[in-house]
């Protein structure tokens, strides 16, 4: 099997994502905007397996307070994905130092993120949007590489080419 490269993958960005990451900066040659059932990013052909949700710190706080029911539904749906990630554009220190508006306690935010993690959602903190984009790009690539490697191995075991 030839080495998989980002340039051979089509990154999918949800049409509702208002300020999408520039995945072309990280080697993705093909980027398609389309409505995803859940999440903001995926790979074409892996939309039912891979779901990446992106949140700024302000959006995270809003999502776990005022729009909590909607976020809880998203998290519940994300549990059905083999690869489900929540990338937060803020460090854990930003949360612990209460670098956000509102009265929601730091412990409540950390507790909610721990709950998501216990539900099987990988929660990843990033210092800023650039690093969040970089992490997103690497997740997209590594998940695709893993899935396509397994598919290749499986097809050989079944007598495929």
Domain chopping of the chain, boundaries: 6-157
Could you report the per-residue pLDDT of 47-106, keeping only the tens digit for each? 999 999 999 999 999 999 999 999 999 999 999 999 999 999 999 999 999 999 999 999
The mean of the pLDDT values for the chain is 92
Q: Which residues share a beta bridge with 13?
A: 33, 41
- CATH of the domain spanning 6-157: 3.40.50.10130
% of residues, the chain, pLDDT over 90: 86
Is residue 31 scored above 80 in pLDDT? yes
- DSSP β-ladder status, 122-125 and 30-33: unpaired
Among residues 149, 141, 139, 145, which one has the least CA distance to residue 52?
139
Is residue 13 scored above 60 in pLDDT? yes
Phi, then psi, of 142 in degrees rounded to 5: -65, -35
Global pTM? Answer: 0.91
Give dist(CA 85, CA 65) in Å, integer: 20
Give dist(CA 131, CA 108) in Å, integer: 25
Helix (H) or strand (E) holding 29: none
Among residues 140, 135, 138, which one has the least CA distance to residue 125?
135
Is residue 151 scored above 90 in pLDDT? no
In 3-state terms, what secondary structure has residue 53?
strand
Give dist(CA 58, CA 90) in Å, integer: 9
CA 96 to chain centre: 22
| Predicted local distance difference test score (pLDDT) of residue 29 | 87
């Amino acid at each position: 099997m030839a080495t998989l490269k980002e340039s051979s993958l089509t990154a999918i960005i949800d049409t509702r994502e208002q300020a999408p990451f520039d995945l072309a900066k990280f080697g993705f040659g093909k980027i398609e905007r389309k409505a995803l059932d859940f999440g903001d990013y995926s790979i074409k052909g892996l939309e039912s397996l891979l779901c990446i949700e992106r949140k700024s710190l302000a959006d995270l706080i809003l999502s776990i307070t005022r729009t909590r029911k909607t976020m809880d539904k998203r998290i519940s749906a994300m549990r059905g994905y083999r690869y489900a990630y929540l990338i937060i554009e803020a460090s854990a220190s930003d949360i612990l130092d209460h670098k956000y508006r509102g009265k929601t306690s730091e412990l409540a935010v950390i507790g909610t993120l721990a709950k998501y993690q216990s539900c099987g959602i990988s929660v990843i903190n990033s210092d800023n949007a650039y690093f969040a984009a970089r992490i997103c790009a690497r997740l997209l690539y590594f998940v695709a590489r893993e899935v396509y490697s397994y598919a290749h191995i499986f097809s050989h075991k079944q007598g495929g080419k």
